[in-house]
Amino acid sequence: MKKLIAGLAALAAAAFALPASATDVAITFDDLGAHSALPPGVTRVQVAADIIAALKAAGAPQVYGFINAVQNEREPASAPVLDMWRKAGFPLANHTFTHMSLNQNPLADWQADFIKNEPELQKHMAGADWRWVRFPFLHEGDTPQKRTQVREWLAGRNYKIASVTLDFSDWAYNETYARCMAKKDETAVARMEAMWLKGAADSLAYERALSKAVFGREVPMVLLMHIGAFDARMMPRLLDLYRREGVRLATLDEVERDPFYAADYKPAATPAPLTFENAAKAKGVPVPLKTWSIAELETLCR
């Protein structure tokens, strides 16, 4: 009996120690195998190795990497990154061949660029699910007609859309980081680290609050990251922050099975990209101002 009571007490204590709420987050990475500028002495392979190591240490499952296969031609030294990603047990998916904007190009050109990316996916993902798409620049079409046409086309090719519901503009830091490291400005890099972590924490709190305001619950989120050098530097700290905030790392498939993403899992026409902000506007829920900014990055190490 004493052992039973002690066991129940331990369970109660453990439950009490858990965060008041938890959010499922699927981490995804864009621009494999090369994103943005590199600091002196850093390689694409090292960036990928550091990111993979951090994800593995945190127990992250099924982290999709969205590829632009043109990088194999532009930067042959980045080609091993795709093999590394797969050997780590992580899947790959389609980000178009050249990172082409759908908003700024005819649909037919975008479709051709998209299809050109598929042979590399078939090569690395034989027997696995690579039919996910992330729109470059998150551009889903600059007209309602183009949005509808591309979604119908993607559905016909059995693709699913990986929308983004958690994003703190990590992409913007990588070029500034390379610039600051070239100047050996450690003070500026420390400032960047603080900004980056604040953006990560504030964006998570922002989307959690907006989700609760619109839906009365915490809708699972898809996090957008990029395979850049500053991301590699910061990944262990980001994952620790999320752990402390009660985030549960989930798969993209798990998150996108939530009813909120229904128009992505079987692509259907939508009036706007699937974000909590757009859902709030559609329901007349006030959208608060964001409390983080990347504007300062332009002034660093100039």
Q: How many CA atoms lie within 13 A of 232 on its CB side?
A: 24
Domain boundaries 36-299, CATH class:
alpha beta
State residue 271's pLDDT score: 87
Residues 83-105 pLDDT 10s: 999 999 999 999 999 999 999 99
Residues 181-193 pLDDT 10s: 999 999 999 999 9
User: The tokens of 229 are what?
Assistant: 């050098």
Domain ranges for the chain, please list them. Answer: 36-299
Residues 246-257 pLDDT 10s: 999 999 999 999
For the entire predicted model, the pTM comes to: 0.92
Beta strands in 96-164 (DSSP E): 132-133, 160-161
- pLDDT above 90: residue 10: no
Reported as a pLDDT band with limits 50, 70 and 90, residue 21 is low
